[in-house]
Amino acid sequence: MTGLTPAIWNLIWQSTLQTLEMVSLSTLFSVILGLPLGILLCITTPGRNAGIRPMPVLNEVLSRIVNILRSFPFIILIIILFPLSRLIVGSAIGTKSTIVPLSIAAAPFVARIVETALKEVDPGVVQAAKAMGSTNSQIVFKVLLPEALPSLISGLTLTIINLIGYSAMAGAVGGGGLGDLAIRYGYQRFRPEVMAIAVVVILVLVEVIQFIGNRISARMMAKR
C-alpha cells in the first residue's frame, strides 16, 4: 500500500461528501418530479381497476414518457442532458450539474414506484373514503399516501440505492464523487487501492441506507 497519504484520504472524504450531495439532492428532485407523476399515473388509470379520476389519454401519454425515460441508457441520458445541465447549473460537468441528469433519470423510476404503491391500497378503503364524501385530493393526501407509506418508504430506499449506483457512473463523464475518484485515480493513474476504497465506501453507503430504510418501514408496519 504505497502512497495512501493524508491528501489521498482527504480526497476520498471529499468525494464521499460529493456523492452524498449528489444523491441527496437528486433524490429530493426526483421525488419532487416523480411523486406527482406517480400520483397522476395511479388516479388516471382507466379500465377495470380504474383510479379515482380515469383519464385514458393522459394516462397513456404519461406512461409512454415514463417508459421511454426509463429505458434510456443512463450514460447517454447524461450526454443528451448536457445542454439542460448547462442551462440550469451553468456548467455541464461537476457535482452540481450531474444532479440534473440524475434527477431526470430517477424521476420516472420514482413515478412507477409511487404508482405501484398507491395501486396496492385496498380499493375497498378508497371506496369507503369516497362514500364518506371525500374529494379526490382528500383521497390522495389523506388516504392513498398515508395508507401506502410503508411501501413508499421501501421504494424510496430503492431509489436512493439506485442513485448511488448512477452517481458512480456519472463519475465517468466528470461528475465528481466516488465514481469519479475511482476512475481518475484508480483506473487512469493505476491506483487500485484507491479504487478499492471508493468501492468499499459505496458498498457501506448502500448497506447503511438499506438498513435505515428497512428499519423505518418495519417500525411503521408494527404500528398498524
Partner 1 sequence: MQITLKNLVRNYENVHAVRGVSLNIPENRIFGIIGLSGAGKSTLVRLISLLEKPDSGEVWYDDSRVDDLPEKEIIQRRRHIGMIFQNFNLFSSRTAGQNIAYPMEICKYPKDRIKERVKELLDLVDLADKIDAPISTLSGGQKQRIAIARALACSPDVLFCDEATSALDPKTTQSILALIKEIQKKMNLTVVMITHQMEVVRDACDYVAVLSDGQVVEKGTVKDLFAQPKTSVTKEFMSHLTTNTRNVRDDGVVIWSDVPARFTLRFLNDRVETPVISDIIREFDVVFNISGAGIQKVGDTKMGTMVCDITGKPEAVSAALDAIRERGVTVEEAEV
Rg, C-alpha atoms of the chain: 20
The interface region with partner 1, picked from 63-71, 88-96, 133-141, 192-200 by CB under 8 A, is: 133-141
Tell whether residue 63 is a contact of partner 1 (CB under 8 A). no
Stretch that binds partner 1, among 74-82, 104-112, 125-133, 183-191 (CB under 8 A): 125-133
Separation between Cα atoms, residue 173 and residue 183, nearest integer Å: 10
Q: Write down the residue that cell numbers 456523492 correspond to.
A: 19
Q: Does 114 bind partner 1 (CB under 8 A)?
A: no
Closest approach of partner 1 to the CB of residue 190, in Å = 54
Among positions 65, 128, 196, 218, the unique one binding partner 1 when judged by CB under 8 A: 128
- Among residues 22, 39, 118, 129, which is the contact residue for partner 1, using CB under 8 A? 129
47 makes contact with partner 1 (CB under 8 A): no
SS3 state of residue 38:
helix
Binds partner 1 (CB under 8 A): choice among 142, 189, 215, 219: 142
From 31, 10, 24, 20, select the one nearest 204 (Cα to Cα). 20
Counting contacts by CB under 8 A, is residue 55 touching partner 1? no
Beta carbons of 182 and 111 less than 8 angstroms apart = no
Distances (CA, A) of 14 to 11, 66, 100, 186, 199: 5, 34, 20, 16, 15
Q: ∠ CA 70-71-72 to the nearest 5 degrees? A: 95
When the beta carbons of 60 and 120 are compared against partner 1, the nearer one is: 120
CB of 222 to partner 1, least distance (A): 9
Burial class (CB in 10 A: 0-12, 13-18, 19+), 123: exposed
**134, 199, 206, 216: which one binds partner 1 (CB under 8 A):** 134
Return the number of the residue (129 or 194) whose C-beta is nearest partner 1: 129
- Site residues for partner 1 per CB under 8 A: 122, 124-125, 127-135, 138, 142-143, 146-147, 149, 223-224
